[in-house]
Amino acid sequence: MQEFIPMATAFAKNHTLMVMAWIAVFVMVIYTTVKALTTKVKIVDNAEAVRLMNNEEAIVIDLRTLDEFERGHIINSINVLPSEIKNQNLGKIEHHKDTPVILACATGMTAGASAELLAKQGFSRVYSLKEGITGWRSANLPLVKKNK
């Protein structure tokens, strides 16, 4: 052990940038782990979303634009823009605070932020659809299209 400390110190001095990068990676892993453990939002896959819709009457909130929504959405889903959630304009979904709510965006990347906001606004069971509508479509699950 006495030989290790001088060698580690010399390595750190000679490779400062690499050591800083590893420390940054370590800190980010801890941060994301703690955030994942403390969040009230759960990420669900397609099968779990279908189970929630069928067995627990979960409501799907589609966060895409109205045009995208009309081109294909999950049956009985409600179109709400992220800006409406951010501004607490929740008239369409206010009465679903105790119902499981599944948020779906285009790819599953942006629904998490809106889901966190809903959880903070008093929704008790908030979920984010993994891979969003793209993943839903890739799994050949049904989408409803609005006829114009």
Q: 3-14, pLDDT tens digit by residue?
A: 888 898 899 899
Give the CATH H-level superfamily of domain 41-138: Rhodanese-like domain (3.40.250.10)
Q: Distance between CA atoms of 58 and 99, rounded to whole angstroms?
A: 6
Q: Is the pTM of this model over 0.95?
A: no
pLDDT at residue 147, rounded to an integer: 66
So where are the chain's domains?
4-36, 41-138
Q: Which residues of 94-117 are buried (b: 16+ CB within 10 A; e: fewer)?
A: eebeeebbbbbbbebebbbbbbbb
Note the pLDDT tens digit of each residue in 33-43: 888 777 889 99
